[in-house]
Amino acid sequence: MEKGNFMFQQSSIYAFGLVCALTYVVLLYIHFNVSVSVNESTKSNPFGFTDREIAEAKAAILRLENPKNDKVFPFSKALKSAENKSDPCGGRYVYIHKLPSRFNEDIVKECGSVNKWLNMCKSEYVMNNGFGALLNDTEGVFSDHGWYDTNDQNLETIFFTRMKRYECLTNDSSIAAATFVPFYAGFDVARYMFGFNVSVRDAASIEVVEWLQKRDEWKYMNGKDHFLVAGRPTWDFRRPSDEESKWGNKFLLLPAVKNMSLLTTESNPFSANDFAIPYPTYFHPSYDNEVLDWQDRMMKMERKWLFCFTGAPRPGNPKSIRSLLIDQCKNSGVGKLLDCGVGDKNCHSPSSVMKMFQSSVFCLQPKGDSATRRSAFDSIFAGCIPVFFHPSSFYVQYTWHLPKNYTKYSVFIPEDDVRKNISIEQRLSQIDSKRIKMMQKEIISMIPRLIYVDPYSKLETIEDAFDVALKAIINKVRKLREDIVDGETNDEFDEKLSWKYALQEQGDFEAVREWDPYYSETKSMNGDVDPINHNTSKLDQLQGR
């Protein structure tokens, strides 16, 4: 028995040794990337291993790298990077795709040559990293530094410039918390806005997607960790069909793009993959004290007008309430109006617009060509309390940057109340001075999170709109990865309720239930919701007045 056991032990050791030797050779083989080919097995697979043996060896490598036997995902390295507390960039790394210049800088140049009347393409607007020309403070409206004549559609240029100077960039995409795609989608759609067929309008969008899908970085999560920025409303990228008369291109409706996140100036409330971030405005400070001084100055402003409105009517849109608001401004002794429909040059003067906002308590912000307006941000920067008439104009849009309780910083008057001829003056006069002071303090406190600072500086104690947006995207990707690891598919997510998910508190919809009537109609998820009024002039559409 003892002799039999000894012989058995020897044979077991011998067999174990053979297995170890075989595994070692296979591991070496895989390590040096020897490919297996059925047609050329003797050349590319000199050891004659089967596919099964190679697969088992690969599994052995993973077990050696992951002794806890945790499931390994393509983004596992990125998750581990986030756990490294000694690395200040752990969990914050961003990888930027090295797109050919034809997808960004060259588009800006071509935009100006194809459609020279597009003001967003003029050299004076794209200078200074997209901020535009410096503003002269001829009326004493601005502070000493950081004010530019910024076109509201230059978000792509501004964001990309800032992204290139982000402190946690990486060339190792496997540790990236998110991947940025520097495609100038807004400039692309603008250059072919009018007079071009759908194939021309879609060409760059299709080409950039094909380029991305060939990259190894795309394959980590099939693009779900990718994001890009566009300086135009989401509707410009959601053409519902290939009819030549339809607006915009179909970039956001491409299957691959639906996996990515698009940050734009106006999102689709019924979509899960695009998110609204603030319009660029005139103020781009370099230092914390410039922001703090401006906030202090706005709190001390004397405001002689109860309310004001700047904009043009929309005679071609029967649903617009703009003409009604203009009439109320004209007929009120405490209302101020800059009527952009009569060729008033002051509408195009940043100092004139900001001066009016600074001298008013409330600023009326109705829908224009689409639901949102850059003017809403200008008014907040001036310490003027915004008055909205539809939740899509602000409340369901900039949810990363705004307090969830909209009553803290704004007034809401339903559009139907205006159509019933309620008095704006009477409604606003009923708000007591104590509440007005609290609201002014709240909106002025919001200013830092809504500005885009000078990319060559870094605020020390303040997060700006770029910081807030990037942090939100990183958190979104991290949560998605964690859900994948945990086996959660989020099957309960309903795109028709997308506008609610961003506003709810701990799964409770009660706080936003009052908006249900505004979104009760059955909406198409294929881009059929298009609020743009094409009967307005081209110039008005581009200027967002």
Tokens of 257: 């793009």
| Residues 146, 454 contacting (CB under 8 angstroms) | yes
> Residue written as tokens 């008439």?
389
| Residues 240, 193 contacting (CB under 8 angstroms) | no
| Residues 343, 287 contacting (CB under 8 angstroms) | no
Tokens of 403: 């307090």
pLDDT of residue 527: 37
Residue 194: pLDDT band (50, 70, 90) is confident
HSE-up (13 A, CA, CB side) for residue 400: 26
H or E element in which residue 437 lies? helix 433-446
| Residues 229, 132 contacting (CB under 8 angstroms) | no
| Residue among 309, 335, 299 nearest 438 (CA) | 299
| Stretch 428-455: mean pLDDT | 97
Sorted by where each starts, the structural domains of the chain and their CATH numbers stand as 94-281+463-488 (no CATH), 300-448 (3.40.50.2000)
Compute the distance between CA of residue 41 and CA of residue 56 in angstroms, rounded to an integer.
19
| pLDDT single digits (tens) 203-250 | 999 999 999 999 999 999 999 999 999 999 999 999 999 999 999 999
pLDDT of residue 142: 96
pLDDT of residue 505: 59
| Residues 54, 460 contacting (CB under 8 angstroms) | no
| Residues 79, 162 contacting (CB under 8 angstroms) | no
- pLDDT of residue 24 exceeding 60: no
Total residues found in the chain within this entry: 545
pLDDT of residue 137: 87
| Residues 157, 148 contacting (CB under 8 angstroms) | no
- pLDDT of residue 511 exceeding 90: no
| Residue among 197, 200, 224, 223 nearest 211 (CA) | 223
| pLDDT single digits (tens) 97-148 | 999 999 999 998 887 776 665 666 776 778 898 999 999 888 899 999 999 9
H or E element in which residue 17 lies? helix 2-31
Q: What is the DSSP letter of 311?
A: E
| Residues 481, 79 contacting (CB under 8 angstroms) | yes
Residue 91: pLDDT band (50, 70, 90) is very high
pLDDT of residue 531: 45
Considering Cα of 120, then 124, then 127, then 130, what sign does the dihedral take? Answer: negative
pLDDT of residue 224: 95
Residue 50: pLDDT band (50, 70, 90) is low
| Residues 268, 455 contacting (CB under 8 angstroms) | no
Strands of the sheet containing 178-180, edge to edge, are 94-96, 178-180, 226-230, 261-264, 274-276
Q: pLDDT > 70: what percent of the chain?
A: 76
Tokens of 537: 């002039």
Compute the distance between CA of residue 539 and CA of residue 545 in angstroms, rounded to an integer.
9
For 324, phi then psi, to 5°, come to -65, -40
pLDDT of residue 540: 39
